[in-house]
Amino acid sequence: MSTSIWASVDYDRPGKQTGDLWLPYSVHRSAYGNLTIPLAVVNGAPGPTLLLTGGTHGDEYEGPVAFRRLLRWIDPAALRGRLIILPALNAPAVRAGLRTSPEDGGNLNRAYPGEPFAGPTAAIAHYVSTVLLPMADFYHDAHAGGSSLAYLPFVSLRRSGDDALDAAALAAARAYGAPNIQIWGYSPDPRLSTAEANRQKVVSLGGEFGGRGTVSREGVALVERGVRRLMAQWNMIEARPEDALPGESPARTVEVSGRDCYVYAMRSGIFEPAVDLGDSVVGGDLCGAVWGLEDIADPPHDQRFSRDGIVMCLRHPGLVQKGDCLAHLAIEVPS
């Protein structure tokens, strides 16, 4: 299928190359201009291809920082296979520090499989779907909570309905060495990057490694070590002693199993949480209260969890509108 995007690197050339994807973008300021998307390709000895993307949302930073560190660290002479790294995939959103693209309002993780000529966000998704994922044996799209959410860090996989593919993703998640593995078992939306990877039978991992629109040091370290551990697991690099897990550190596996894991604001106002990330709750427990902005006599509106679980995610800004996600749970499942 056609695409207007072209790469300034050769995906097959040996060694380490850095450059950009060029996305032709004709606007008032620049009639024959381009949006550029930073890209690196590292080719070593024959082996598998690992595709790493960050900046799918432009205000999520731990993955992009870790991937840039990994690029500087990796030695093509010590690599079996190929690394393709795009740390600022929705580049206009990254430059603006926004979840969505300021060019077309597009949310890249609601754009797959994409379209080649329906605006920049759809074009980027289409390039990933038709050029990058077909080259990949393994895919990791790193996320965080962004400006509106805070996350307990975890690596994640999305149920595909293909037992062999899901087992391979779970094995990869275990190899990653994160303290939490989250399974997205409830995912009706087919427009996500990892949903597209599942359709193409590419073993894929997501993950939420922080949030609040800032850079979590713990999250950066987790991604950097996680990707090195994955590459060692797949025999792309030698395992490093310093990437071993401290002591016995079995991951906790949790699953988001349905909409009842989520708490949504039923009023607009100021959200006062009653829990912290990582807390275990039971159905009926208080999630928090929404206080009004106007009438001082108004009582707070209690918001409660509708089931048992572990608090994986909390809204970060105080101000909420009815319909906003305040928190979500995940349920511990056998590891």
Task: Report DSSP letters for 19-88, one per residue.
Answer: EEEEEE--BTTBTT-EEEEEEEEEE-EEEEEEEEE--SSTT--HHHHHHHHHHHH--GGG-EEEEEEETT
Q: How far is the CB of 86 from Zn ion (least distance, A)?
A: 14
> Which residues is 208 bridged to in the sheet?
143, 154
Q: How far is the CB of 128 from Zn ion (least distance, A)?
A: 15
Q: How far is the CB of 114 from Zn ion (least distance, A)?
A: 17
Q: How far is the CB of 59 from Zn ion (least distance, A)?
A: 8
Could you say which of 35, 39, 57, 202 contacts Zn ion (CB under 5 A)? 57
Sequence-ordered strand ranges (E) for the chain: 6-7, 15-24, 34-43, 45-53, 80-86, 138-141, 149-151, 154-158, 180-184, 203-208, 252-256, 262-264, 269-273, 280-281, 286-291, 301-304, 309-315, 319-320, 325-333
Contact call for residues 146 and 197 (beta carbons, < 8 A): no
Counting residues that bind Zn ion (by CB under 5 A) gives 3
Strand, coil or helix: what is 262? strand
Q: Mask: binding to Zn ion, 98-127, rule CB under 5 A, as x and -?
A: ------------------------------
Q: Which is nearer to Zn ion, 60 or 224 (CB)?
A: 60
Cα 248 to Cα 85, 100, 177, 245: the distances in Å are 31, 40, 11, 7
Span from 66-74, 142-150, 215-223, 292-300 in contact with Zn ion (CB under 5 A): 142-150
Distance from C-alpha of 311 to C-alpha of 180, rounded to nearest angstrom: 12
Q: Which is nearer to Zn ion, 208 or 224 (CB)?
A: 208
For residue 244, which phi and psi values (nearest 5 degrees)? -65, 150
Q: How far is the CB of 181 from Zn ion (least distance, A)?
A: 18
Q: Which is nearer to Zn ion, 57 or 126 (CB)?
A: 57
Q: Which is nearer to Zn ion, 53 or 257 (CB)?
A: 53
Q: Which is nearer to Zn ion, 94 or 263 (CB)?
A: 94
Q: Which is nearer to Zn ion, 20 or 208 (CB)?
A: 208
Q: Which is nearer to Zn ion, 160 or 193 (CB)?
A: 193
Q: Does 316 bind Zn ion (CB under 5 A)?
A: no
Span from 15-23, 67-75, 136-144, 264-272 in contact with Zn ion (CB under 5 A): 136-144
Could you say which of 143, 158, 225, 316 contacts Zn ion (CB under 5 A)? 143
Residue 270 class from Cβ within 10 Å (0-12 exposed, 13-18 middle, 19+ buried)?
Answer: middle
Q: How far is the CB of 57 from Zn ion (least distance, A)?
A: 4
Q: Which is nearer to Zn ion, 60 or 103 (CB)?
A: 60
Q: How far is the CB of 210 from Zn ion (least distance, A)?
A: 11
Distance from C-alpha of 192 to C-alpha of 205, rounded to nearest angstrom: 12
Residues that bind Zn ion (CB under 5 A): 57, 60, 143
